[in-house]
Amino acid sequence: MELRVKYALALLLLAACATVPQPKPNRIDQLINTPPFDRAVWGIDVEDDDGHVIYSLNAHRLEMPASNRKLFSAATAANCLGFTTRLPTELWIDGDDVIVKADGDPSFGSQRHESPGFAPFVEALRTRGVTRVNDIVIDNSRFDRVTIVPSWEVGDLPSSDAVPVDAIAYNENVIGDVAVVDDAIFAAMKFKEALNAAGIRVDGAIHTGIGRGKKISTIESPMVAQLLMSVLKNSQNTYAEILYKRSSANGSYEEAAALERAFLVYEAHIDPNEFFFSDGSGLTRRDLVTPNASVKILRWMNAPERRAIWWLILGAPGGEGTLRRRLVSYASRIRAKTGTLTGVHCLSGIIESNGRYRYFSIMLNHHLGGEATKVIDQIVEEIAKF
């Protein structure tokens, strides 16, 4: 009899255990464990206004950021140059020679910002009655001579994503979808074409050199804030690289990197062990950064005194650029930056909710393909519900 009672009690206990509600799996955990992404490397950090962690997975692990790297170089350029700065391209004359002095305007001669190109320079010469010139000289001495980032892969170099990085740019240093070989000579050839079309003969050579003589005309770039929109909305590599180098006094990657490191560590309060950058755009796979560092730079951008301008500069869902077809129902609430390389997809941004903000960085590395952007966007939608 006693044995039957014990057996009955055991059955009742098992039945009771079977009816206990089990914890519901976190939706984000479900998404990141969906094949084929369950075999990839994820890094996620989500924090609220007060710095409380809402969700974290490998938040302090170094990941390849792809174009999320541009968040840091854009902040560095803004910090060093100022939002309202304009970068001049000048025309000088020295005897019969004409000199173009460049100062790092990535938009010169580009339709992206409706640049007039060399037309104002041609008009300035015609106004002075000039009918012939001797040499055309491009003064690109504002930057050093490291025009190709050493860490870029050889296979990227012919493309429009990996153009020469110099003080002069014309048509973003591309012909079609191919990078020009020598940006200064390319710009000089375009100037020569414009002069000839206006009936001004060029008798001499085209070359680079230090400009002297008298300045007769200046073409100013759009404001740095407008140029940075091309960096963060359109993820334009040429703008990112040129503005990054222009952040330094001598136009070098070495000095730009030192300035950026000091800014990130001492002003944005990012741990120096949580980032390593080897270019300005994120094209190289040597760039490494943690999701937590990305959240911190977004928090710096979204400080009340800077928020308004960065919300204009950062990408908006449904707007111009790489977010135009993503998360469109959140257009008024989200500002973010995408990042894509083969096997790498990232999205870092800010979500507004009733005057409060959440910061997120989602980095997916070493994946084999599939609908990565769809999964990442679903994660962002879950974050927006927290």
In order of their start, the domains of the chain are 27-82+226-385 (3.40.710.10), 88-222 (3.50.80.20)
* CB-based burial label for 156 (10 Å; 0-12, 13-18, 19+): middle
In one letter, which amino acid is 384?
A: A
Q: What is the DSSP string of 60-95?
A: TS-B--GGGGHHHHHHHHHHHH-TT---EEEEEEET
Dihedral pair phi/psi, residue 179, rounded to 5°: -70, 145
pLDDT mean over 293-319 = 98
Residue 73: closest CA among 318, 238, 199: 238
Question: Are 322 and 234 a contacting pair, CB within 8 Å?
Answer: yes
Give the DSSP letter of residue 159. Answer: B
**Which tokens hold the place of 168?**
């002069």
Question: Looking at residue 9, what is its pLDDT?
Answer: 45
**Which tokens hold the place of 253?**
């990657």
Question: Are 234 and 313 a contacting pair, CB within 8 Å?
Answer: no
pLDDT mean over 212-225 = 97
Question: Looking at residue 21, what is its pLDDT?
Answer: 44
Question: Looking at residue 4, what is its pLDDT?
Answer: 52
pLDDT in tens, 22-58: 444 589 999 999 999 999 999 999 999 999 999 999 9
Q: What percent of the chain has pLDDT over 90?
A: 90
Residue 73: closest CA among 231, 268, 305: 231
- Bond preceding residue 36 cis, omega within 30 of 0: yes
Question: Are 149 and 217 a contacting pair, CB within 8 Å?
Answer: no
Question: Are 89 and 102 a contacting pair, CB within 8 Å?
Answer: yes
Q: How many CB atoms lie within 10 A of CB 242?
A: 33
Question: Looking at residue 17, what is its pLDDT?
Answer: 46
Confidence class for position 18, pLDDT limits 50, 70, 90: very low
Confidence class for position 2, pLDDT limits 50, 70, 90: low
In one letter, which amino acid is 167?
A: A
Question: Looking at residue 211, what is its pLDDT?
Answer: 86
Mean of the per-residue pLDDT values of the chain: 94
Confidence class for position 161, pLDDT limits 50, 70, 90: very high
Give the DSSP letter of residue 273. Answer: G
The Cα–Cα gap between 364 and 324 comes to 21
Dihedral pair phi/psi, residue 363, rounded to 5°: -125, 120
308's enclosing H/E stretch is helix 307-313
15's enclosing H/E stretch is helix 2-18
pLDDT exceeds 80 at position 13: no
pLDDT exceeds 50 at position 10: no
The Cα–Cα gap between 298 and 316 comes to 14
Give the DSSP letter of residue 368. Answer: -
The Cα–Cα gap between 331 and 325 comes to 10
pLDDT mean over 109-123 = 97
